[in-house]
């Protein structure tokens, strides 16, 4: 009788461990898929600043031309605005939009979809602008 009891406990414990392992595997898989999905939505490309203008409320509007070394979709003309939520940096250090000038090469990171039939193509959700040179 004791052997049967211990056998049942061992089998129950083993089944519980397997169930917990499956639940953890599903949870981790879903979490990783969400992280990959967020990364896929973010895109970056290099461009040269063509023009800039600032309005009364401090937003800076920037027109750029994608570099020839970019993928075909990012060789055209784009426009976006820089506001207080836009991360601007140079060499890993945060800088102000006043440090950006016409002719500068920048790396633009954005999350939104864009329409290729509007020129310059508007980018609505630019999250980061990195001054390259």
Token pair of 115 as six digits: 């329409």
From first to last of its 133 residues, the chain has per-residue pLDDT tens of 566 777 888 888 888 888 888 887 777 766 655 444 444 578 899 999 999 998 888 789 999 999 999 888 888 899 999 887 889 999 889 998 889 999 999 999 988 665 566 678 888 888 899 998 7
Q: What CATH number corresponds to the domain at position 90?
A: 2.40.50
Which pLDDT does position 121 carry in this prediction?
A: 83
Q: Are residues 10 and 29 in the same domain?
A: yes
Q: Are residues 62 and 124 in the same domain?
A: yes
Q: Are residues 37 and 55 in the same domain?
A: no
Q: Are residues 4 and 63 in the same domain?
A: no
Q: Are residues 49 and 12 in the same domain?
A: no
124: left (phi over 0), alpha (psi -120 to 50) or beta: alpha
Which pLDDT does position 22 carry in this prediction?
A: 83
Which pLDDT does position 111 carry in this prediction?
A: 84
SS3 content of the chain, % helix, strand, coil (to 5): 35, 35, 30
Q: Are residues 106 and 82 in the same domain?
A: yes
Q: Are residues 52 and 74 in the same domain?
A: yes
Q: Are residues 49 and 109 in the same domain?
A: yes
Q: Are residues 54 and 74 in the same domain?
A: yes
Which pLDDT does position 63 carry in this prediction?
A: 95
Range of the domain at 25: 1-41
- Quote the number of domains for the chain: 2
What is the value of pTM for the model shown? 0.65
Q: Are residues 70 and 118 in the same domain?
A: yes
């Amino acid at each position: 009788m004791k052997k049967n009891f211990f056998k049942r406990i061992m089998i129950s414990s083993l089944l519980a461990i397997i169930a917990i392992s499956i639940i953890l595997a599903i949870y981790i898989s879903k979490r990783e898929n969400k992280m990959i999905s967020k990364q896929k939505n973010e895109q970056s490309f290099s461009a040269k600043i063509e023009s800039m203008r600032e309005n009364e409320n401090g937003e800076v509007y920037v027109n750029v031309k994608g570099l020839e070394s970019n993928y075909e979709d990012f060789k055209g003309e784009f426009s976006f605005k820089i506001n207080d939520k836009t991360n601007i940096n140079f060499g890993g250090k945060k800088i102000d939009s006043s440090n950006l000038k016409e002719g500068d090469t920048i790396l633009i990171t954005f999350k939104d979809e864009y329409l290729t039939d509007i020129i310059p193509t508007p980018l609505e959700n630019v999250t980061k602008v990195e001054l390259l040179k």
